[in-house]
Structure 1
C-alpha cells in the first residue's frame, strides 16, 4: 500500500473515531481533567509511572493529601507537568538511534523516509518507505545526520541494509523491519548509535498525554517535535495525535515523555480544505503482536498473548520430561502482583534473567522449557486493588510488617522526624525514601504478604495451586522470589517423601521480619528438614528484603549473598537471577 493509500485509510479511521473523540471531550468536561481514559488504562499508566520513579514519592504524597478521588489522573498529570532533570539526556540518547533512509538515484542519495533501530541490527520503518526486499536492497540508512551541539556541520555514517538476512513487512499495519548490515569494522549500528527497545506492556501512554516525534521531515537534517503535541485517540491498532509533521517523517518513532516508543508514525490525516487534522501512528503492541517468535526473540520481547473478554484463570507450566536428565528439576516460585498474567511468558522472563547470569558466569544458557513454573497469581486478586487490606486482622498484620520494615531501615522508634508523617503513612514514606521505590508499590507487596499469612483460606489456595504443578519425584532446586519465598517455606513442610530439595534459593525475601517468620507453618525461624543447602540473596535497597541478612534470626541455617541491583529495579527477580553467583549455584545443584 503506497503513501497515498495509507493517508486515505488513516482519514477513514479518523472519521470513524468521531464519536470516540466526542466521548473523550464529554469526559473532560465532566471531570475537569484533560488527561482521561478508561479506568484500566489510567490505573496501568499511573502504576507504571510510580514504579519507574517518574513521579517522586513526595509528589505522590502531596497528591494523596488532596483525596483519593481522581488520584491516579493527578499522578499522571504531574508526570506531564514536571520532567526530571534527565529528560533531555534520555531524549538525546533515544534520538541517536533515528536515521534517514535514502535510495540512490543518478549517483545521489535521495531521502525517502525515516527509520530507527529497535535492536543492534534491526531497523523499523514503514512499508510504504520500504515495501519489498528489492527496495531495501537498494537503500541505505544514515545515522548522525544532525547538527552538533555547537551547530557544526554533521558527519553522518551510512549503513547498507541486508534484507536477505532479515526482512519482515506488513502493508496493512504499514511497517517494515529489516536487517542493517554491519560497518566495515564489523560493528553493528546499535553499537555506535544505540537502539530503542519495543515494549508491549500496557501503561505507556493515555489520552491527553504529550508525544514526541523524531525524524527527517522532507529529508532535512534530524528534527524533533516536542511542543503542542498530544495523544488524542487510541484505536485498537493505531494512535491519533497532534504534531507538526511533513513528508519524510514516515517511519519516525513516536515517544512518550519517558522516551519509550509508543507508535510508528506513518501518515497525516487530511482535512477537506487541504489542512491536516491529526497524525496517525501504528501502535507498538500491534506491531509486536504481528511479528513471528524468532523476531520477537531478537527484539528481546516475549510473544504476546491476546487477551480474551472474560478473564482467564491460569494454571502452572510443567517442564519437559527430559530436562536435567528427568530426575533433577528447576522450579520457579513467583511473588505477588501476577494476577491475569501468562505463566509461560513469566517463565521466559525468569529464564532471560538467569541466562544473563549464566553468560556472565561463562556457562551455557538454559531453555525456558526446562523449568517448572507453578502459578498462584490468580488466587490473590487484582494487583490494582487498594494497597491496604480491608479485613481487620489482615490490616493488623499489614501494619506490623510495614512498621517493622521501617524500623529495620533506621526509622526512629517514636516515628517522628521533622517533615515526615507519623503512623502508617510515615512508615511507608520512610521506606520509600530509604529504598527510592514508591510507597504504593511497597504497600501492595506487604498487603499480599499479610493476606497470605493471616487468611488460612488464601494460604491453602496458594499452596494447592503450587502443588498442582510440581514433579512427582526426584530432586528439585526451588528458586523463590518475594512472597514466593514465604510460600516456599510453607511448601517445604508439605512436600511428598518422593521429592528431595538439595537447594533452596530465596530472592528479595521478607523472611527476616518477625511478623513474617513467626506466622510460618514451622512456627518460627526454623528451616524445614527437607531443605538441604539454603542460599538467600538480597539487595540492601530492596524494601521487601529489609530484614536481611537473615542470620540474626535464622542462626547458622542459611548462606547469604548481598547484591547490588539497579536502584529502580531493586526488587526485580530478573535482576537477582542475573548475578553470576546465583546462576552458578543453580547450575551446580542441577548438574
Structure 2
C-alpha cells in the first residue's frame, strides 16, 4: 500500500464517521464541556487514571452542584477531567522534555544515499517505533539510522547529535494497515543501548489514557528539521476502533511521531494528515491507536530471541488477558531497561494464585539457581539483587550488573571485571513461591493502587502501611495528615498508619486501607516514579519483613549460594540491602566483608530497620567499609542518607536519571561507586 492509498483510506474513514462527529458535537453542546466518550465506563476509566496517578487532587475539586435527582457519575468525571486540563503543573514542561528525549529523526538510507526523513521513538531500550511508510521493509531499515538530540538547548545552541544504526536483523515487525514498524536499534559505539541514554516511552494497553475533547501533544521532526513540539490548539476529535482523529499542526517528516496526552503518555502513532475532499489542504490528523498496535503485536509469531527483545515493551503493553513473552515485574530497573520491566502503571490487578500456579513457582525455584564465581585466591565479589526477579535468567542479570559497573570503572580509569568471577545468589523464584502461599484475590472493592497492592497477610499489611506512611512523612507530606496519637500507639504514628493498622486488625483490605493512596500518591508525585512501582516494591519489602516464612525462604536461598569463608565484597540493591543486613546474623564467622555497598536502600526507614533480625540499626561486626549509594529521586531510598541512622556509613549521592532513579545500572555506573567496588574487589 503506497502513501496515496493510505491517504484515500484516511479520507474514507473520516467521511464515514461524519454522523459520529455530529453526535459528539451535540453531546459537547448539551453538557457544556468539550469532553465526550462512548460510555460512562470510558469516562470512569479516564478519571480513575488521572486520580490514581495524582494528576488531580480529589480534595481540591469543587463540590458537584446539587441537582433535583441523583448526580450522574458523568458529571463528576467531567469535572475531574476539566480540573486536569485547564491548568498544568509547571512540571508539565519538565515531563515533556523528558518524554521528548526518546524521540529521534530517522534518516532513511537507500543505495548508500540519504533518501528521506521520518520520526521514531524508543519504546524499549533497543526498540524503536515508527511508520510502515517510513520503514516499509528490512532492506530499507538496513543502513538507515536514528538521530537523537537533534535539537537546541535552552540557550539555542545545537546539541551534539547521538546517532544509532538500526538492526532489523534482530527484530523487525511491520503492518501496512496500521502503518507501524517496530525495529531493533543497535547499541552505540561505546556499547551503550540507546534507551540507557535517552529513555523510552511506555506503550500502555490499559483504557483511560484520553477521551474526546482533551488536548494532544505531538513531538517530531517536521520536514526533517530539528525536533519540534505542537502543543497549541490541539484536541482529540474522534476515536475509531484502530485510529484516532485529532486537530494539531504537523508536516511531512512528522510521520512516526508519538501523540501524547497531557500526562505525556503515548496515545497514538501519528502517520499522516487527512486530506480535504477537494484535495486542497488538510482537515484533520490521524494516528494508529496504541491499543490497536499492541493487539497486532500480541498476535505476531516470533522466534524466542526476538520475543525476549520484544519483552522490553513491558507487561503494561500486554492487551487484556495476555502478557508479553518473558516480561516480569522487576526491581533492579524500574523503567523497562536491560535489567527488567516495570509493573503495569495504574492497574488494580487480581492477585489470585491457584494451587497449580504455586506448584509451578515452586518447581521453578528448585530448577533455577544462582551463579558461583570462578574459584581462585583473593576476595569474592558478590551481587545481591532486589525484588521482582522471578523467572529471569541469573546469568543475564549478572551481565547487566557488570555492564553498568564497567561504565563507571572505565570513567574511573579502572579495568572492567569479568562477570564469570562474580557470585550471584538468586532468590527471585524462592521469594515468588513464598509470596504465592500468602496472597489471595484482591477484593472487588479495591479502587486504588495502594489498596490493590496491599499484602493479604495481616502482619505484612501492617508493615506496608507503616512504610508508606513513614516514606510520605520523609518527603514532606503536610502536617494536617499526621493526626494526634492515641494512647498506646507509637509516638509520631500518623493517621494513615493507624488506619492501615485498624484495617489489618479488622481483617479487611478495603475501607481504611484506601486512605493509604494519599501517601502513595504523594511519594509518586515527588519522586517521578509510577505509584504502582512504589507500591510493588514496598509490598515485597513488607512481605519479607512481616512474615517469617517469606524471610526464611529468601535467606535460605541466598545462604545456599554464598561463599561461606574468606573475604567477600558484597554489592546489594533495594530489597537485597535488607536481606544482606539479615544475612550477617547467619553468615559463618570465618567469612568477613571488607566492603559492603548498598544501593537504592530503604534501610533508613524506621519501619525497616526496627524489623531486621538484629533489632535495629546495628552495624554488622563483619563489615569494614560501608558505602551507601542513593539518589534524591529514588522513592525506595527515601530514608537515605543512611549516615543519619547507621554508624560509619559513607553516603554517596548519585545523579541518576529521574526516570531510572532506582536502576542498579545507574548506581553502578557512578564513578565513585564503581571505583570503590573495583579497588575493593582487587585490593
TM-score (norm: length of structure 1): 0.62
- Aligned residue for 1:489? 581
- Aligned residue for 2:210? 208
Residue 124 of structure 1 deviates from its aligned partner by 6.4
Secondary structure at the residue paired with 1:462? helix
Secondary structure at the residue paired with 2:527? coil
Do the aligned residues in 1 keep the contact of 2:382 with 2:423 (CA within 8 Å)? yes
1:420-435 equivalent positions in 2, closer than 5 A: 423-425=494-496, 432=522
Q: Which of 232, 235, 244 is equivalent to 1:228?
A: 235
Q: Which of 20, 28, 31 is equivalent to 2:41?
A: 31
Secondary structure at the residue paired with 2:452? coil
- Aligned residue for 2:526? 436
Q: Per-residue displacement from partner, 1:283-326 (whole Å, max 9, x unpaired)? A: 887889979979999xx999984459997846566337549889
- Aligned residue for 1:360? 411
Q: Following the alignment from structure 2 to structure 1, what is the Cα–Cα distance between the partners of residues 389 and 413?
A: 35
Do the aligned residues in 2 keep the contact of 1:211 with 1:229 (CA within 8 Å)? yes
Q: Which of 126, 134, 152 is equivalent to 1:129?
A: 134
User: Taking structure 1 as reference, are residues 128 and 476 closer, same or farther at Cα in structure 2, changes over 3 Å only?
Assistant: same
Do the aligned residues in 1 keep the contact of 2:129 with 2:181 (CA within 8 Å)? yes
Q: Per-residue displacement from partner, 1:32-91 (whole Å, max 9, x unpaired)? A: 716459xxxx87x987x56xxxx37xx26658x99xx99999999966665333545665
Residue 255 of structure 1 deviates from its aligned partner by 3.8
- Aligned residue for 1:240? 243
Q: Per-residue displacement from partner, 1:90-148 (whole Å, max 9, x unpaired)? A: 657839955586899xxxx998662347599998654433446876799999999999x
Question: Aligned pair 1:586/2:677, yes or no?
Answer: yes
Give the total of aligned pairs.
540
Do the aligned residues in 1 keep the contact of 2:105 with 2:147 (CA within 8 Å)? yes
Do the aligned residues in 2 keep the contact of 1:35 with 1:208 (CA within 8 Å)? no
Secondary structure at the residue paired with 2:577? helix
User: Taking structure 1 as reference, are residues 589 and 28 closer, same or farther at Cα in structure 2, changes over 3 Å only?
Assistant: farther
Secondary structure at the residue paired with 1:33? helix
- Aligned residue for 2:288? 280
Do the aligned residues in 1 keep the contact of 2:431 with 2:550 (CA within 8 Å)? no
User: Taking structure 1 as reference, are residues 466 and 251 closer, same or farther at Cα in structure 2, changes over 3 Å only?
Assistant: same
- Aligned residue for 1:175? 181
User: Taking structure 1 as reference, are residues 502 and 62 closer, same or farther at Cα in structure 2, changes over 3 Å only?
Assistant: farther
Secondary structure at the residue paired with 1:334? coil
Residue 334 of structure 1 deviates from its aligned partner by 0.7
Q: Per-residue displacement from partner, 1:401-445 (whole Å, max 9, x unpaired)? A: 566667777899997699xx9933499878948992389576665
Q: Per-residue displacement from partner, 1:130-181 (whole Å, max 9, x unpaired)? A: 446876799999999999x9xxxxx9x999998899997555475386999x
Do the aligned residues in 2 keep the contact of 1:511 with 1:547 (CA within 8 Å)? yes
Q: Following the alignment from structure 1 to structure 2, what is the Cα–Cα distance between the partners of residues 412 and 260?
A: 29
Secondary structure at the residue paired with 1:537? strand
Residue 584 of structure 1 deviates from its aligned partner by 1.6
User: Taking structure 1 as reference, are residues 319 and 207 closer, same or farther at Cα in structure 2, changes over 3 Å only?
Assistant: same
Q: Following the alignment from structure 2 to structure 1, what is the Cα–Cα distance between the partners of residues 271 and 454?
A: 44
User: Taking structure 1 as reference, are residues 293 and 410 closer, same or farther at Cα in structure 2, changes over 3 Å only?
Assistant: same
User: Taking structure 1 as reference, are residues 267 and 307 closer, same or farther at Cα in structure 2, changes over 3 Å only?
Assistant: farther
Residue 242 of structure 1 deviates from its aligned partner by 2.1
Secondary structure at the residue paired with 2:612? coil
User: Taking structure 1 as reference, are residues 366 and 129 closer, same or farther at Cα in structure 2, changes over 3 Å only?
Assistant: same
Q: Following the alignment from structure 2 to structure 1, what is the Cα–Cα distance between the partners of residues 495 and 645?
A: 25
Q: Following the alignment from structure 1 to structure 2, what is the Cα–Cα distance between the partners of residues 479 and 468?
A: 17
Between 453-462 and 468-477, report the one with greater CA deviation.
Answer: 468-477
Q: Following the alignment from structure 1 to structure 2, what is the Cα–Cα distance between the partners of residues 491 and 73?
A: 53
TM-score (norm: length of structure 2): 0.56
Q: Per-residue displacement from partner, 1:497-543 (whole Å, max 9, x unpaired)? A: 78654432223434344544343223344344554543333456766
User: Taking structure 1 as reference, are residues 27 and 177 closer, same or farther at Cα in structure 2, changes over 3 Å only?
Assistant: closer
Secondary structure at the residue paired with 1:457? helix
Secondary structure at the residue paired with 2:552? helix
Root-mean-square deviation (CA, aligned residues, Å) is 6.7
User: Taking structure 1 as reference, are residues 487 and 135 closer, same or farther at Cα in structure 2, changes over 3 Å only?
Assistant: closer
Secondary structure at the residue paired with 2:43? coil
Do the aligned residues in 1 keep the contact of 2:380 with 2:568 (CA within 8 Å)? yes
Secondary structure at the residue paired with 1:357? helix
Q: Following the alignment from structure 2 to structure 1, what is the Cα–Cα distance between the partners of residues 204 and 163?
A: 34
Q: Following the alignment from structure 1 to structure 2, what is the Cα–Cα distance between the partners of residues 466 and 390?
A: 25
Secondary structure at the residue paired with 2:39? helix
User: Taking structure 1 as reference, are residues 110 and 411 closer, same or farther at Cα in structure 2, changes over 3 Å only?
Assistant: closer
Secondary structure at the residue paired with 1:588? helix
Q: Following the alignment from structure 1 to structure 2, what is the Cα–Cα distance between the partners of residues 364 and 7?
A: 56
Structure 1 regions of 5+ residues with no counterpart? 15-25, 150-154
User: Taking structure 1 as reference, are residues 72 and 204 closer, same or farther at Cα in structure 2, changes over 3 Å only?
Assistant: farther
User: Taking structure 1 as reference, are residues 168 and 29 closer, same or farther at Cα in structure 2, changes over 3 Å only?
Assistant: closer
Residue 459 of structure 1 deviates from its aligned partner by 1.9
Secondary structure at the residue paired with 1:480? strand
Q: Per-residue displacement from partner, 1:248-282 (whole Å, max 9, x unpaired)? A: 65433444545466664446899999999964267
User: Taking structure 1 as reference, are residues 162 and 533 closer, same or farther at Cα in structure 2, changes over 3 Å only?
Assistant: closer
Q: Which of 382, 386, 392 is equivalent to 2:452?
A: 386
Q: Following the alignment from structure 1 to structure 2, what is the Cα–Cα distance between the partners of residues 475 and 72?
A: 60
Residue 563 of structure 1 deviates from its aligned partner by 0.9
Question: Aligned pair 1:331/2:422, yes or no?
Answer: no
